[in-house]
A and B are shown apart, each in its own frame.
Chain A
Amino acid sequence: MADVQGLPPAFSASDGRDLAIRIRGVTKDFGAGGSLTRALRGVDLDVPYGEMLMLVGPSGCGKTTLVSIVAGTLEPTAGEVVVLGQDLVAMRRGAKVRFRRENVGFVFQSYNLLPSLTAVENAAVPLLIAGWRRSRAVDAAADVLDTLGLGDRLASLPSELSGGQQQRVAIARALVHSPRLLVCDEPTSALDAENGRITMELIQRIAVQPDRAVVVVTHDARVYSFADRIASMEDGRIDSVSTGPHGSDPTMPPRIA
């Protein structure tokens, strides 16, 4: 991928790490006239490679809107959005679809698995979208599911899996094409504490890599401990960015490479 023209070849965080996400002055309005709602009010945010950032805040504060813009599924009203070196604001629609296909993995709150596909077929969907042959895509997806401990449930339909297992299938689907950005929307909200912990451990173990970045939207305070940094949002703005346990506590266990 070529870097954005007119922008420096690489952005760096204050600690010298290259930035995976750089957002400046982003606003997003919904509606018009009297019914206009301003969901984002000038958001600035940097996320370096190798970091897991959590977006937290009350409902309606703009977390989902912000993560949708970062993932390239929503256009900002104004501002600058550079993700993985690509200017998403200037990008044409077709290029943005390609960008998502090649670079972004998604883990959704409600999993959004296709109910008529088996676990391994669901996990293979991004590869099928990318044009892989079905047998090859399914083989690759089976490997990822095996890594996530679902090697014995490959042929199960989503309805035959527990919530935790479905979320693991969703994680496999998000990671099967080795995306450089993983976007997770409330990945643990539908899970009990144990499954939530397992899910976050998996995301941390597999997705947080030096050449990747992870953005997690969550309400779930139980998983804050997995964050490198936590951006707290309020009323369409980022109120504060604090360093998470992983970003500051030297006693935290090291990441598994």
Chain B
Amino acid sequence: MLWIAWKMLIGNRVKYLGIVFGVVFAALLIAQQSSIFCGLMSLTISQIRDVEGPGIWVMDENVQFVDDVKPLSDTELFRVKGVAGVAWAVRFYKGIARARLQEGSYEQMILLGLDDATLVGAPAGIFMGSIADLRKPDAVIMDDAGYRRIWPGEPYRLGRVFEMNDRRAVLVGLTKASRTFQSFPIVYTRYSQAVVFAPRERKVLSFVLADASPGVPSEEVCRRISEQTGLQAVTRNEFIWKTIRYYLAKTGIPVNFAVTVLLGFIVGTAIAGQTFYLFTVENIRQFGALKAMGTGNGTILGMVLFQALQVGVVGYGVGVGLAALFGFGTRALSRLSFFMPWQVLVITAVAVFLIVLLASLLSIRKVLVVDPAIVFRG
């Protein structure tokens, strides 16, 4: 009987495509908007993800997210180092600096200062120069996207000079780095150099990066650090989610995307539901004939649900496929952030399932109550 249901469904191509279009539209919009949202969220945490090595971030107790820097006293490093279970701890500077280029123009930059001795937090994707070059005087490494933003169309060239806080900075390397939420160029340098480039402040230490001794859980070490220093200590993963939660709660970004996703859901349901209902009404005599010939309500229900599910699967596949194509297509052409994790696929699948279920509800009611005697009425 499912085979009959399938033949009935695809028999009227126009109606079939109409129903599928509704689901495709919804799946495309939900998957695409969710992926852009995830892309934006991933930008907010890119600087945490790019700092590989330390499992623990220590900061002022009032810090809410990665860009919410509240400087600490340099002595806090030693207090953290003194906590039992801390394997090592280093200083990390993060701030915004204004660079003056040789052409005379100014550019805001994200300035990251790495521990002078260990260079913990150094970027992993250096493709010109080397991390060791950072030990040279005034040395900085810049991210690829930042270079292309400052010197668009120009070939990569090391040795370029610009100024930060009236101090000379020399480009000694280029690296791949994840894009940030602010989209400013990222400049890596030594901590001691960063505090010279940074605007003058009494306290300059942004974060202490640390790691737990082998065999001691990071969560336990974080608890000890907080207890003994009064600072906020979180694992890398906790810091990522803390930052995401901040953007979710304190900005209008999720609401804007949720509204679009909701619209996609509603419009998709309306289109699919209306077309599916018309399809059912058009076939109501056929359903009546099947009931007259001895098809039970359970089988009829199964047929309608199968039709809805079939539309859902096709619509979902096409919609998500188009969303992925859109993402890959625009990634090369624009700076649109697009990140489609498996969770987006699951959320879209659940939404599409709900859409086809809602869309089929009216139809289900219609076919269940249809009187088999309808077939005797001319």
Contacts and interface: CB of A to CB of B under 8 A. Distances in A.
Contacts of A232: none
Q: Is the interface of B mostly helix, strand, loop or mixed?
A: helix
B8 interface: yes
A118 B53 CA distance: 67
A175 B1 CA distance: 19
Contacts of A99: 294
A87 B124 CA distance: 84
B183 to A, nearest CB: 54
B157 interface: no
Given A73-B371, A117-B4, A121-B7, A112 B286 contact: yes
B294 A114 contact: no
B292 A98 contact: no
B295 A117 contact: no
A106 B290 contact: no
A97 B295 contact: yes
B375 interface: yes
Interface in A99-119: 99-102, 104, 106, 108-110, 112, 114-117
A14 B69 CA distance: 104
A100 B373 CA distance: 12
A68 interface: yes
A129 interface: yes
Contact of B378 (A68, A109, A117, A128): A109
A106 B293 contact: yes
A18 interface: no
Contacts of A129: 1, 290, 293-295, 299
A116 B376 contact: no
Contacts of B3: 128, 134
Nearest to A75: B373
A110 B378 contact: yes
Interface in B202-252: none
B200 interface: no
Nearest to A157: B11
Given A116-B8, A128-B1, A73 B373 contact: yes
Contacts of A108: 289, 375-376
A94 B299 CA distance: 12
A56 interface: no
B296 interface: yes
Instruction: Name the residue among B1, B4, B285 with the largest chain A CB count within 10 angstroms.
Output: B4
Contacts of B285: 110, 112
A108 B293 CA distance: 11
B292 A114 contact: no
A98 B286 CA distance: 18
Instruction: Name the residue among A97, A99, A130 with the largest chain B CB count within 10 angstroms.
Output: A97
B350 interface: no
A71 B375 CA distance: 12
A8 to B, nearest CB: 27
Contacts of A109: 376, 378
B375 A186 contact: no
Interface in B154-171: none
B377 A125 contact: no
Contacts of A68: 373, 376
A100 B293 contact: yes
A169 to B, nearest CB: 13
A116 B294 contact: no
A130 B290 CA distance: 11
B293 A98 contact: no
A196 B367 CA distance: 32
Contacts of A217: 376
A33 to B, nearest CB: 21
A101 B291 CA distance: 9
A98 B298 CA distance: 13
The 5 closest A-B pairs by CB, nearest first: A116-B11, A101-B294, A112-B289, A68-B373, A73-B372
Given A104-B293, A134-B3, 8 more contacts: A64-B377, A73-B373, A108-B376, A112-B285, A114-B4, A114-B7, A117-B4, A129-B293
Interface of A: 64, 67-68, 71, 73-74, 94, 97-102, 104, 106, 108-110, 112, 114-117, 121, 125-126, 128-130, 134, 185-186, 217
23 contacts: A64-B377, A73-B292, A73-B375, A73-B376, A94-B296, A97-B296, A99-B294, A100-B293, A100-B372, A104-B294, A112-B288, A114-B4, A114-B286, A115-B11, A115-B286, A116-B10, A117-B7, A125-B290, A126-B293, A129-B294, A129-B299, A185-B376, A217-B376
